[in-house]
């Protein structure tokens, strides 16, 4: 049974989905202090939050049971993503649920700002009739700049076109073809776009790169009388610089739904300026949006906990349940190669790991396979628990360079994953393949070709390829009641008498006395015991 903790208000429709799903136990607790949230997380497999709960590094540290965080909404700035990733917790949001509501609120704010609806309404309540004082400006024929062309930005752009506005858009990732389809004049340079607009509306996430991106220097390059709208995240527009520009008359007005501190302080200059229209973070506050994001959050978290499906992840590559089933054997193979190389390299510092995906493996998600391999490579060496989410971060924090390459050429096998680790004592390489979707094989170790089962107990011994050695090793294990289930041999050169390696798959673990006796044979040059998961064992982080 998977327990889902909910610490913010969630629509009853979303709660109903969770409560009616077999295998899910719902724990609703609102109004918790940070310390109470931390304690509650000890017993949770997943958590759904909105904007009220802040998940800090202190709350996320030491939560071995917690696997997933779902934000019922778009913004995840109340979640420390670096801390969640380091702890191996996948973070997902619900980007589609409030798109329409936020886009509509942006347009409502733009129109209300242009027609002075807020102050005009207030003057009516105060008994005045100030028709001339509140003359506005129309939107038709004006130029709007949309900063960020994600779902909400595109939705705003479509509505602006319907209002007969000229739409410019800034986004470093959207294709020119996609922008052109929607009638957006695309800019790759924000500084170039903002000089041409009568209205600027921002729709980017809050990151280190976007914090304060609309500041005094950029505002100074905008047209006299520009109007600025922010219904995205507080902090993208520098609030002090904006207030200065409004007071100076360079900016005609601003409409704000979000603030760098929420609620903003009572002495905030922006709140007191008559040219500023403020609402209390209402972008997603419609009945429809609240129900939609709750349903989406419930579906996302149950899909992950019950089927391993990853949708809308913000700290790893997303993967659908059907795709996960197809790629699972490849993740398993990569993970086992990492475990193998980790145990074969117990005492040397690793500086780099190179992965090659050949044949069918080249068509699978390379980043996922790289993380699966790295989680195995780092297992047992760190206090943290490496998994498919945090492994790359943990490796890079320790100065381990990770590279991956692909080749569609089949070679000797229809699929192959080869990994080489670079240490202060040299290199170590292992390669594996699969027969069907079940049988994983070790086919290469350094320069030795072989066919060994990549599961369970594996005894590897390096030796001189001389007659009688295999029988001697078998006799030793027979004497110590160790059963050999499979044996694979690899020669450095395809001829007798040289260096060789053998891999024995064992049914039970040999005693130290048995290991010592094998090591003592004059033709044996090294012995290592490797412990891998049994064949078909589930991946540890799914």
Nearby residues of 311 by Cβ (< 8 Å), 6 or more positions away: 92, 300, 303, 304, 318, 320
Catalytic, 262? Answer yes
Known active-site residue 233: yes
- CA distance linking residue 196 with residue 142, whole number of Å: 10
Q: What is the DSSP string of 454-494?
A: -SSEEEEEEEE--TTHHHHHHHHHHHTT--EEEEEEEESSS
Burial class (CB in 10 A: 0-12, 13-18, 19+), 387: buried
Q: Which of 320, 391, 365 is nearest to 85 (CA)?
A: 391
Cβ–Cβ under 8 Å, residues 151 and 95: yes
Which residue from 67, 186, 159 is spatially nearest to 105, judged by alpha carbons?
A: 159
The Cα 156–Cα 153 span in angstroms is: 5
Options 115, 161, 269, 281, the catalytic residue: 281
Q: Whole-angstrom Cα distance, residue 84 to residue 280?
A: 28
Pick the catalytic residue from 35, 262, 427, 438. Answer: 262
Three-state SS at 150: coil
d(CA 313, CA 316): 6
398 is an active site residue = no
DSSP strands (E only) in 242-342: 251-256, 276-278
| Rounded-to-integer distance, Cα 235 and Cα 107, Å | 20
SS3 content of the chain, % helix, strand, coil (to 5): 35, 25, 40
Selecting among 71, 159, 227, 233, the annotated active-site residue is 233
Strands 499-506 and 226-230: unpaired
Return the SS3 of 410: coil
Catalytic residues: 233, 262, 281
């Amino acid at each position: 049974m998977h327990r889902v903790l909910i610490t913010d208000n969630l629509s009853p429709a979303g709660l109903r989905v969770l409560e009616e799903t077999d295998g899910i136990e719902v724990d609703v607790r609102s109004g918790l202090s940070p310390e109470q949230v931390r304690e509650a997380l000890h017993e949770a497999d997943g958590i759904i939050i909105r904007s009220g709960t802040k998940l800090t590094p202190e709350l996320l540290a030491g939560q071995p049971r917690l696997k997933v965080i779902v934000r019922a909404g778009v913004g995840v700035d109340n979640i420390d993503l670096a801390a969640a990733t380091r702890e191996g917790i996948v973070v997902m949001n619900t980007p589609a649920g409030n798109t329409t509501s936020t886009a509509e609120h942006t347009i409502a704010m733009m129109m209300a700002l242009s027609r002075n609806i807020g102050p005009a309404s207030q003057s009516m309540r105060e008994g005045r009739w100030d028709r001339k004082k509140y003359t506005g400006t129309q939107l038709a024929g004006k130029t709007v700049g949309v900063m960020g062309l994600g779902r909400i930005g595109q939705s705003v752009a479509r509505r602006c076109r319907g209002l007969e506005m000229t739409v410019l858009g800034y986004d470093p990732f959207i294709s020119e073809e996609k922008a052109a389809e929607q009638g957006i004049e695309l800019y790759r340079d924000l500084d170039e776009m903002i000089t041409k607009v009568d209205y600027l509306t921002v729709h980017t996430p809050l990151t280190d790169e976007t914090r304060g991106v609309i500041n005094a220097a950029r505002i100074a390059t905008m047209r006299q009388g520009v109007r600025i709208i922010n219904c995205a995240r507080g902090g993208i527009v520098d609030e002090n610089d904006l207030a200065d520009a409004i007071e100076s008359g360079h900016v005609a007005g601003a409409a704000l739904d979000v603030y760098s501190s929420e609620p903003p302080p009572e002495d905030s200059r922006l709140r007191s300026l008559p040219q500023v229209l403020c609402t209390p973070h209402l972008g997603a506050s419609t009945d429809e949006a609240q129900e939609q994001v709750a349903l989406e959050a419930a579906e996302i978290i149950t899909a992950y906990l019950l089927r391993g499906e990853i949708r809308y992840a913000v700290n790893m590559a997303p993967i659908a349940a059907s795709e996960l089933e197809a790629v699972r054997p490849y993740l398993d193979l990569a993970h086992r190669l990492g475990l193998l190389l980790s145990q074969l390299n117990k005492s040397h510092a690793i500086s780099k790991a190179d992965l090659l995906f050949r044949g069918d493996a080249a068509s699978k998600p390379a980043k996922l396979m790289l993380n699966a391999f790295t989680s195995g490579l780092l297992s047992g060496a760190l206090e943290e628990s490496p998994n498919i989410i945090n492994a790359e971060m943990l490796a890079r924090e320790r100065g381990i360079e990770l590279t991956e390459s692909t080749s569609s050429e089949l070679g000797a096998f229809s699929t192959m994953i080869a990994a080489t680790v670079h240490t202060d004592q040299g290199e170590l390489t292992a390669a594996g393949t699969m027969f069907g979707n079940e049988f994983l094989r070790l086919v290469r170790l350094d320069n030795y070709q072989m066919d060994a089962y990549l599961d369970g107990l594996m005894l590897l011994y390096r030796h001189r390829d001389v007659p009688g050695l295999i029988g001697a090793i078998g006799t030793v294990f027979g004497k110590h009641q160790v059963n050999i289930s499979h044996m694979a041999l690899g020669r450095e050169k395809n001829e007798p008498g040289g260096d060789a390696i053998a891999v024995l798959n064992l049914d039970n673990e040999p005693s130290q006395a048995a290991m010592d006796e094998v090591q003592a044979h004059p033709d044996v040059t090294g012995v290592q015991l490797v412990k891998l998961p049994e064949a078909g064992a589930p991946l540890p982080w799914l």
